[in-house]
Structure formats: C-alpha cells, structure tokens
Amino acid sequence: MAKILSIETATSVCSVAIHSCGELISLADVSEQGAHAQKLMPLIDQILMESGMDYSELDAIAVSEGPGSYTGLRIGVSTAKGLAYGLDKPLIGVNTLKALASAVLAEEGEVVLPIMDARRMEIYYEAFDSSLNSLIPLDSEVLNEESFKNFLESGRVYFLGDALEKLKTVIHHPNAGFLDSIGFSASHLGGLAYSKWLKNEMEDLAYFVPNYLKEFKALHSKKNPLLNL
C-alpha cells in the first residue's frame, strides 16, 4: 500500500493531499495571500491527523514541479525536499499541467489543454491526448485569435486552468470547451505520482529543482544574451 503525500503550490492555491495507491484519502487546500508560507505545514499536519497517520507511515512525497509562481514553487519544492530528506522517503516530481490534465476524462481524438496564467495575455500551456501523452511540449505563448487553431480545427479541445477568462476573449471556436470547474489541486497529483512510484521514477534530492520556465526564458533571452550564441 503506497501512501503518498502530494503538495501543490504552483499557483495561488496551497493544496495538500494523501493518496493510497493512487486513491484520494484526504485533501485540504487554501487560497489566500501568504498561504504557501504560513499554511503549508499546518495543512499537512491536518490531513495526516484526519487520516489517522503519522509522517513515518508515508511511503513517498510528491510535489508539483511547475511551471508556476516562483515563490509558490520554491516553497512547495523546498518543503517536499525537506520532508523527503528528514523522513528518508523518496521524492516524486509531477508536471503541474499534466496533473491538471489528468482530471479530465477525454475520449480518443480529443485534446486536453491545461493553461496557467503568466502575465498580461501570456500563458503557460501543454497539450495532451486522452491517454495523457504530450502532443506539444511545455511552453509559453501570448494569446491571440490564432492560438491553438491547429488543434481546434481538428476536433474537440478542452481548456482548463486559471487563465480561462483571458482565453475566452480571443478564442470563440465551436470546438473549444472551457472547463471552469476544474482547478489546480493536490488531488490531481496522486495518480501520476503513484504511476511513477510503480516505475521507480524518483527524483535526486540533491539536484531536483522546480521548472520555473519563465525565469529560464528571461535569463536566456534578456539578462545574459551570450547564452544565446
């Protein structure tokens, strides 16, 4: 029985969950200013108590690895690494957007496209098929009327995430479905984390860092142009 603690702090939501063999057994989340720094550990204590578990009974720590908020990811990953090290448990990193996509029960031929608010009209995105295979790699884009036209012209596309309102201002295609009711949550990490657990796909604590994406792009293109050569 693999019991995995999952931590999701990539967005404004501070969320933690416990899954047993991929099945959710406890969940707690808060969405308020400063929640990541102030509420993360108390939330973990809370769900362990509600589940009648001790830290020592956990088999692994899973964490949303990004993309997302620099501060949120830093706090979530630092906490996850600290717990994994202190408890001598393996660490499992989970793609934030893939975790969100896993909440959608799409049919064959349909596309699931989770998006995350960046700034102004920019978003982070990745596209997945109904089996959660990546169709386009994780990237960022400034939204316009042509965004994701290739997918929309081919069939049904489900959009979800925290940037739907800005997306709706530029995309009006009949094949676009907007799933407003599904948000970022640690509850979505458990299934993917358990799959990685079964495959022994664990992270190296010494080298694991969040995928900030935007900071890397800014560094590469603006702050240090010599890296572009």
pLDDT (tens digit per residue) in 97-115: 999 999 999 999 999 999 9
pLDDT at 220 over 60: no
Per-residue confidence band for 214, with pLDDT thresholds at 50, 70 and 90: low
pLDDT (tens digit per residue) in 129-177: 999 999 999 999 999 999 999 999 999 999 999 999 999 999 999 999 9
pLDDT at 13 over 80: yes
pLDDT at 229 over 50: no
Secondary structure of the chain as H, E, C letters:
CCEEEEEECCCCEEEEEEEECCEEEEEEEEECCCHHHHHHHHHHHHHHHHCCCCHHHCCEEEEECCCCCHHHHHHHHHHHHHHHHHHCCCEEEECHHHHHHCCCCCCCCCEEEEEEECCCCEEEEEEECCCCCEEEEEEEEECCCCCCHHHHCCCCEEEEECCHHHHHCCCCCCCEEECCCCCCCHHHHHHHHHHHHHCCCCCCCCCCCCCCCHHHHHHHHHHCHHHHC
pTM, two decimals, is 0.90
